[in-house]
Amino acid sequence: MLDKLNIVQQRFNEVSDLIIQPDIITDQKRYIKLNKEYKELGLIIEKKVIYERLISNKNEAEEISRNESDKEMLEMANDELKDLKEKINIIEEDIKFLLIPKDPDDSKNVVIELRAGTGGDEASIFAGDLFRMYTKYCEGRKWNVSLVDTSPGTSGGYKEIIFEVSGNDDVYGLLKFESGVHRVQRVPQTETQGRVHTSAATVMVLPEAEEFDVQINMNDVRVDYFCSSGPGGQSVNTTYSAVRLTHTPTGIVAQCQDQKSQHKNKDKALKVLRSRLYELELSKKLEADSLKRNSMVSSGDRSAKIRTYNYPQGRVTDHRIGLTLYDLQNIVNGDIQKIIDELKIVRNSELLKNSEEVF
């Protein structure tokens, strides 16, 4: 463990020197990346200092235990030794989790796509409920939510809604496990006989790709302009402000009609297109990675049924880890952190189990 921590200390010292170099400071992309690494390594170094102190104290207590003849002093030394060993075991586990390689995408902002699935109008209403749930969650974390494109349902909600989420902490790292099929079991508003129906909506969470992540040749992109639809003021249906981008080599399409400005819509659509192309490559990596492919909480399979919201019983069940919570109202009002925390614990445990040879 100490050998591993010494390697981390060496890298921490290197990064500490790099981030004060003038050429690094002027290179914003590299500076931001190194500054993030500096903060992450700093957390491990803090634990390292405590760990080394505990090891030193344990060695002293063991020395006293071996050489002390006074019965009372020996008992005190043995009690301290027992306490120190327990503390060392705890901090070793903390350090192991901190040493698990982080997903480089975790710190990215995201593009979320919600689509109504089986269930007709009720599925669209449910997609609207999920959008509200995520919006409330994001508000609680002081994240910014920005609409990209919407296709309203005939009885409320959305057939499809695409939006961006941006924030200062690990946006993708927290939301990536939401990808998959969400089911709802309840009596639809249109049901006259009070029968419970099951409907579904699909959630896709894409890490927002930067320009240096995905290089797009604009000669490969067909750009179409059309009139916006829905609410938006006088410009709706009168100006060609909406933008549709088609990536010819892959057939991937992205569009935006949320802004009145054609230029802003094009920028947003390009962000979505870039993220979808990035996700395409990411999916290939996930398939090639047996650890992620076999994981209970893998974020790679968008067709997997991951969660059920049962209104008659007031429960929410996450099928990947068998977690059931009887707190539906709070959860659909944005209180999903408890579910995310449980998924992260299972995921980290899987990663730790597969990385034990490192320690």
For 92, the token pair is 């070793």
Structural domains in the chain (count): 3
Burial class (CB in 10 A: 0-12, 13-18, 19+), 316: buried
Pairing of strands 252-256, 242-247: antiparallel
Question: Whole domain around residue 45: which residue ranges?
Answer: 2-99
Which pLDDT does position 64 carry in this prediction?
A: 85
- 78 vs 214, more confident: 78
Which residue carries 């998924």 as its tokens? 343
CA angle 168/144/324 to nearest 5° reads 85
50 and 116 in a common domain: no
Q: Give the chain's largest Cα–Cα span.
A: 95
40 and 159 in a common domain: no
Residues 6 or more apart whose CB falls under 8 angstroms from that of 48 comprise 5, 8, 9, 95
Residues 6 or more apart whose CB falls under 8 angstroms from that of 159 comprise 115, 116, 124, 127, 151, 152, 153
**Distance between CA atoms of residues 281 and 279, nearest Å:** 5
Residues 127-159 pLDDT 10s: 999 999 999 999 999 999 999 989 999 999 999
pTM for this predicted structure: 0.72
**Distance between CA atoms of residues 87 and 93, nearest Å:** 10
232 pLDDT more than 80: no
Residues 306-335 pLDDT 10s: 999 999 999 999 999 999 999 999 999 999
146 and 30 in a common domain: no
Which pLDDT does position 230 carry in this prediction?
A: 56
233 pLDDT more than 80: no
Reference 146, options 162, 163, 134; nearest CA is: 163
% the chain with pLDDT above 70: 89
Which pLDDT does position 239 carry in this prediction?
A: 67
* Domain stops at, among 237, 253, 285: 285
Residues 42-60 pLDDT 10s: 999 999 999 999 999 999 9
**Distance between CA atoms of residues 127 and 150, nearest Å:** 11
Is the CB of residue 88 less than 8 Å from the CB of residue 51? yes
Residues 255-299 pLDDT 10s: 998 777 888 899 899 989 988 888 887 777 666 554 544 555 654
**Distance between CA atoms of residues 78 and 64, nearest Å:** 9
pLDDT category at 76 given cuts 50, 70, 90 is: confident
Please give the average per-residue pLDDT across 208-225, as a whole number: 84
For residue 105, being part of any structural domain is answered with no
199 and 50 in a common domain: no
50 and 132 in a common domain: no
83 and 40 in a common domain: yes
28 pLDDT more than 50: yes
251 and 321 in a common domain: no
Which pLDDT does position 98 carry in this prediction?
A: 85
189 and 42 in a common domain: no
Mean pLDDT of the chain: 86
68 pLDDT more than 80: no
For residue 104, being part of any structural domain is answered with no
137 and 70 in a common domain: no
